[in-house]
Amino acid sequence: MATVRLDYVAPWWTYWLHNFPHFNFVFESVDNTFKPEETSYQQSLILLAGVGAVGLGLSLLLLAAYLTLLPNNCCVTWAAIITGLIICSAVGVGFYGNSETNDGVYQLTYSLYNANHTLGGINNLVAGSVGNVETGLKLHLERLDEIFATRSDYLQSLRFMRLMINNVIRELTALPDINKANVDLAAIADQTAFIEYYRWLAFLLLLITDLVICLAICLGMAKQSRWLLIMYVLLTLSLILSWASFGVGAATAVGTSDFCVSPDKFIVNQTNDFISADVAHYYLFCSPNLPNPFQQSITTCQRSLTTMQIQIQGLLQFSLPFFPTAERDLLGIQRVLNTTEFSVHQLTALLDCRGLHKDYLDALMGVCYDGVEGLLYLSLFSLLAGCALSAMLCAIFKVWTLMASRDKEYDDIDEEDPFNPQARRMSYNPRRSNIHSFCSYASSIGSQATLHPPPQTAANVMNQNMLFGGSPRYENVPLIGRGSPPPSYSPSMRTTYLSMTDAQIRHFGTDFQV
């Protein structure tokens, strides 16, 4: 059954990021080919990371302009609500991007572990086969030389076997490309996973911090809490971290896209010191049209082992009747040849390009698809969070100034009423409800401040003296507008009220209601 080979095609967003302009520190154009070892290319990525610093500077400049102009017609409540919704949406985008990036890096590390396992298996099989042939076969052949010392034809067979053994050792050691390529990919995968864990954790904490700060600020603005000053400081730090993450994420996404557009070229250039070009192309492309660079060596080993098996079978058949003591060494050689032949078959399967090529494609898919896509979402989160947090800073400052002006007005009021000073404050400053809601129209707080006490008549004074026991404290003092609650109801008051005339009742009803 024919197998279909999967090809790697870079996603469109990597080409879009790859086409970003690259400039060094003197603003000279730099080739966007992925060359992390070159200083000019490193400078171009650093300048891309500086975009975050530019965004932070613009945010601070906007905040300074707002503090200078300080518009008074700004609807703080709606601004805070819209900003909070934007931050919550940005946090959702950030969670998705963080997960996608983590999935891409996990797929990369998993592929590196598999490739390291394959390379380790190849090197172990080569080393084990060479060791068995050198030590096991030669030891048995030396003893057989002593046993067959009188038979020149048997000694000729043993010399021919030595030639075959040398062929096997030479062909196995003729795989220097794989042996020299024994790079500890597991260590690279461990380091990558370690860095990714702390990157994922840092972004997770940043996302949670932004969400908590946003909710705390909305609650503090609603309650007009003094903790808004602390929230202001935390919000400023979060703003700095958001723009910093935007710059780092943008530079990382562009650099990774430069690699993803042409990964084969970069890997061939990096491995040309210990892997030949034909071996690198064999594993990177795994095309049926490309010959297997190890096929000749593997075929020579298999033929040499098969020839030795034939020689051992002949010696077992013809020499044992005359040299029964040679049976142990001949059977020992046969066991070593069987083991070596099995190892060569395993080595043939591991050297096939399909296994390592699949790991290579999985790594590219993880980095260039999930990884770069996740970085784009994280950059979008950082951009939205930076803009929204800047607007939130303006809203907090507006609320803080409103709170300060309200407290100043409160301090200027002469608190003459010991019973209800809050009502006097509200009657003095009817805009308090507007300050409380930030965005509502000034509402009326009651009609008590506009009511005037009724004229004092003799009957009215007499009724008040009767109701309140003739106490001089309440004489000629109207009930409405005094800021004090009405007197408590009692049966004696009911009797007095029933004994009054209709005119007195109607007149008294303006002052006191049952």
Average pLDDT rounded to a whole number, residues 355-364: 94
What does the H/E/C string look like for 246-261?
Answer: HHHHHHHHHHHHHHHH
Domain ranges of the chain: 12-398, 458-509
Q: What is the pLDDT of residue 489?
A: 47
Per-residue confidence band for 47, with pLDDT thresholds at 50, 70 and 90: very high
Name the average pLDDT for the chain.
Answer: 78
**CA angle in degrees (0–180, nearest 5) for 84-89-94:** 120
208 vs 218, higher pLDDT? 208
C-alpha–C-alpha distance, residues 37 and 49, integer Å: 18
Instruction: Please tell me which of 47-61, 274-288, 394-408 the model is most confident about, judged by mean pLDDT.
Output: 47-61
Residue 257 · residue 13 · CB < 8 Å: yes
Q: CB-hemisphere CA count at 13 Å for 312?
A: 25
- What's the distance, Cα to Cα, between the start and end of the chain in Å? 100
Per-residue confidence band for 136, with pLDDT thresholds at 50, 70 and 90: confident
Average pLDDT rounded to a whole number, residues 341-366: 93
Which residues are registered as beta bridge partners of 23? 29
410 vs 288, higher pLDDT? 288
Tell me the two tokens of residue 453.
Answer: 């006490």
pLDDT for 451 beyond 60? no
Q: What is the pLDDT of residue 2?
A: 36
Backbone dihedral angles phi then psi of residue 23, each to the nearest 5 degrees: -130, 145
Q: 423, 372, 401: which is closest to 72 by C-alpha?
A: 401
What DSSP character marks residue 300?
H
C-alpha–C-alpha distance, residues 439 and 437, integer Å: 6
263 vs 77, higher pLDDT? 263
Question: Rounded to the nearest 10 degrees, what angle do helices 76-131 and 152-173 cross at?
Answer: 160
Residue identified by tokens 């904490």 is 205
Q: 269, 120, 93, 121: which is closest to 183 by C-alpha?
A: 120
What does the H/E/C string look like for 115-160?
Answer: HHHHHHHHHHHHHHHHHHHHHHHHHHHHHHHHHCCCCHHHHHHHHH
Per-residue confidence band for 39, with pLDDT thresholds at 50, 70 and 90: very high
Average pLDDT rounded to a whole number, residues 26-33: 90
Question: Rounded to the nearest 10 degrees, what angle do helices 228-261 and 51-69 cross at?
Answer: 150
Range of weakest confidence among 35-44, 284-293, 389-398: 389-398
Q: Is 281 exposed, middle or buried (0-12, 13-18, 19+ CB in 10 A)?
A: middle
pLDDT digits (tens, 9 = 90+) for 167-203: 999 888 877 555 555 578 889 999 999 999 999 999 9
pLDDT for 240 beyond 90? yes
C-alpha–C-alpha distance, residues 273 and 203, integer Å: 38
263 vs 469, higher pLDDT? 263
Cβ-based neighbour number of residue 142 at 10 Å: 11
Tell me the two tokens of residue 363.
Answer: 């790594």
Residue 418 · residue 484 · CB < 8 Å: no
Tell me the two tokens of residue 176.
Answer: 């220097």
Per-residue confidence band for 481, with pLDDT thresholds at 50, 70 and 90: very low
Q: What is residue 29's three-state secondary structure?
A: strand
Q: What is the pLDDT of residue 176?
A: 54
436 vs 267, higher pLDDT? 267
Q: What percent of the chain lies above the pLDDT cut of 70?
A: 72
Q: What is the pLDDT of residue 132?
A: 87
C-alpha–C-alpha distance, residues 407 and 419, integer Å: 20
Per-residue confidence band for 452, with pLDDT thresholds at 50, 70 and 90: very low
Q: What is the pLDDT of residue 173?
A: 84
Average pLDDT rounded to a whole number, residues 32-56: 92
> DSSP string covering 297-328, please?
HHHHHHHHHHHHHHHHHHHHHHTTTT-GGGHH
Q: What is the pLDDT of residue 245?
A: 94
Q: What is the pLDDT of residue 180?
A: 57
Average pLDDT rounded to a whole number, residues 332-357: 92
pLDDT for 205 beyond 60? yes
Q: What is the pLDDT of residue 177?
A: 55
